[in-house]
Amino acid sequence: MRLSFRVNGKEVTADVPPGRRLLDLLREDLGLTGTKEGCGEGECGACTVIVDGRPRLSCLTAAIQVAGKDVLTIEGLAASGKLHPLQEALLATAGVQCGFCTPGLIMAAYALLQENPHPTEGEVREYLAGNLCRCTGYAQVVEAVLRAAERMR
Ligand code: FES
Ligand code: FES
């Protein structure tokens, strides 16, 4: 079926077969490979993108579900060529190690800060509980989100 939506502010039209995942549409058809596939089963958060302002697991989202919607991926956060405060803060705290979880984590953190610009450490941990990271132990990630929140206020 023919599908139209916006991704990172641009109108996109694509032909998608039934059952095509949003993750595959983004990565394979649109070349937006910043969004990662970890588990492919809704368990790790690596594939998180924002759909109409809310975080969504793109591995569990059918492409046709985003018809007419606004999708934001990690590429859209630094579209101007300047890193987003979340990206800068993660670099500063060494919250990026292998980096595989990072795009999904950033998108989830972005959604959190849209909803709640003043999160506590506990709220950050709770919100990001579905985004698994094998490398950092989470302390640097949480620190980065709190620093970015401060900068963005
Ligand atoms: S790849 Fe989607 S939740 Fe793991
Ligand atoms: S930095 Fe390696 S999984 Fe998070």
pLDDT digits (tens, 9 = 90+) for 66-122: 999 999 999 999 988 999 999 999 999 999 999 999 999 999 999 999 999 999 999
Closest ligand 2 atom to Cα of 99: 1
Measure 93 CA to ligand 1 centroid, in angstroms. Answer: 25
Q: Residue 145: which pLDDT band, with cuts at 50, 70 and 90?
A: very high
Average pLDDT over residues 19-31: 97
State the pLDDT confidence band at 153, using cuts at 50, 70 and 90. Answer: confident
The proportion of the chain whose per-residue pLDDT surpasses 90, expressed as a percent, equals: 96
Contact 52, 69 (CB under 8 A): yes
pLDDT digits (tens, 9 = 90+) for 13-23: 999 999 999 99
Atom of ligand 2 nearest to the CA of 96: 1
Smallest-distance ligand from the CA of 135: 2
CA 13 from chain centre, in angstroms, equals 21
Task: Look up tokens 């640097």; give the residue.
Answer: 140
> For residues 38 and 102, is the Cβ–Cβ distance under 8 A?
no
State the pLDDT at residue 79. 80
**Cα–Cα distances in angstroms (integers) from residue 12 to residues 17, 18, 30, 67, 121, in the given order:** 16, 18, 9, 10, 38
**In what order do the strands lie in the sheet containing 48-51?**
10-15, 2-7, 70-72, 48-51, 54-57
Q: Cα of 113 to ligand 2 centre, how many Å?
A: 21
In this structure, the residues whose C-beta lies within 6 A of any atom of ligand 2 are 96-102, 133-136
Residue nearest to atom 2 of ligand 2 (CA): 98
Residue pair 112/119 in contact by the 8 Å Cβ criterion: yes
Per residue in 105-116, is it b (16+ CB within 10 Å) or e — as a string? bbbbbbbbbeee
Residues with CB under 6 A from ligand 1: 37-40, 42-47, 57, 59
Residue type, 44: C
The pair of structure tokens assigned to 11 is 């109108």
- CA-wise closest residue to 125 among 109, 114, 111: 109
86: its two tokens: 């979340």
pLDDT of residue 63: 98
- The residue among 89, 107, 104 whose CA lies nearest residue 145 is 89
Domains of the chain: 2-77 (3.10.20.30), 85-152 (1.10.150.120)
Residue 35 CA, ligand 1 centroid: distance in Å: 10
Residue 73 Cα, ligand 1 centroid: separation in angstroms? Answer: 14
What distance in Å separates the CA atoms of residue 49 and residue 35, rounded to the nearest whole number? 7
Mean per-residue pLDDT over the chain, rounded: 97
- Kindly tell me if the per-residue pLDDT of 56 is higher than 90: yes
